[in-house]
Amino acid sequence: MPCLAGNICFFSFFNLSLQIWAPTEKGPAPSPFGATIQALLQATVCMALYLYLIPHFNISGLNSPAYQEWGFWKRLSYQFMSGFTARWKYYFIWSISEAAVIISGLGFSGWTDTSPSKPKWDRAKNVDILGVEFAKSSVQLPLVWNIQVSTWLRHYVYDRLVQKGKKPGFFQLLATQTTSAVWHGLYPGYIIFFVQSALMIAGSRVLYRWQQAIPSNMDVVKNLLVFISFAYTVLVLNYSAVGFMVLTLQETLALYGSVYYIGTIAPIVLILLGNMIKPAKPSRSKARKEQ
């Protein structure tokens, strides 16, 4: 029976692969090899960069006596680089798994709308590396990091907590991130990290509202807010990542405290300011209203 079941599974997968790779009106059957090689090259670069950086920026360094002797800026810089370094390990894992799914044929997600049409192989895409590293707002991070899980959480947790006729708020965000924390494991570092991420996103929403309220003729101010939002995202993300790395409550709080909880205070201050400073909504043009 196990052999029979195995054969049934194999032929089901084989038939599915034939359907995926079957020629259509868009063109001949798409080849997965180009996209697979691209994913493998990305995985190679990610692992090479991780292996280069990890001897210099790691958990041991965060717990070393030398770290305790450093000043604020050097500690913050080391935390920043430690978080940055740790992400490349996950970039490698997701890239190599994406390559495996693409070569199986299951990564095919359709055709582009361009002429001529080109095959898309992003069904298994789980991270947009440049999207993470150059995110202009923390709100963008769930869209480019652990994409498949984030999509699931959005549909089955976040959206279901929003009451009909009401806008989502911090409660829905916090509940979703807490669910993600439990999913990862019941370590204090995970829970603190995801609570931090909820605060981080809520703070970014405040910056976005302020940015949208800036008149179109004040490009300098608007660009300044864009830069502040980017710097805020980078700062709080890498600060928060320390909890994800060390996991224990004592180490997480000690390392956060070593930089005066700057990544916790910053989003809380923004949230409080957002409740006090509420800019008027940008007026829509007449053409927009007519539409």
pLDDT at 277: 84
**Which residues are known to be catalytic?**
184
Residue 18 confidence (pLDDT) above 80: no
Q: Measured between alpha carbons, how far is residue 202 from residues 39, 96, 123, 209 in Å?
A: 33, 33, 29, 11
* pLDDT, tens digit (0-9, with 9 covering 90-100), for 126-180: 999 999 999 999 999 999 999 999 999 999 999 999 988 888 889 999 999 999 9
- 15 burial type by CB count under 10 A (0-12 exposed, 13-18 middle, 19+ buried): exposed
Q: What percentage of residues in the chain have a pLDDT greater than 90?
A: 68
pLDDT at 203: 96
* pLDDT, tens digit (0-9, with 9 covering 90-100), for 194-236: 999 999 999 999 999 999 888 888 889 989 999 999 999 999 9
Parse the chain into domains and list their residue ranges.
30-127, 137-281
Per-residue pLDDT band at 51 (split at 50, 70, 90): very high
Please name which of 192, 191, 154 lies closest in space to residue 176, comparing C-alpha atoms.
Answer: 154
DSSP strands (E only) in 136-213: none
pTM (two decimals):
0.85
Residue 14 confidence (pLDDT) above 70: no
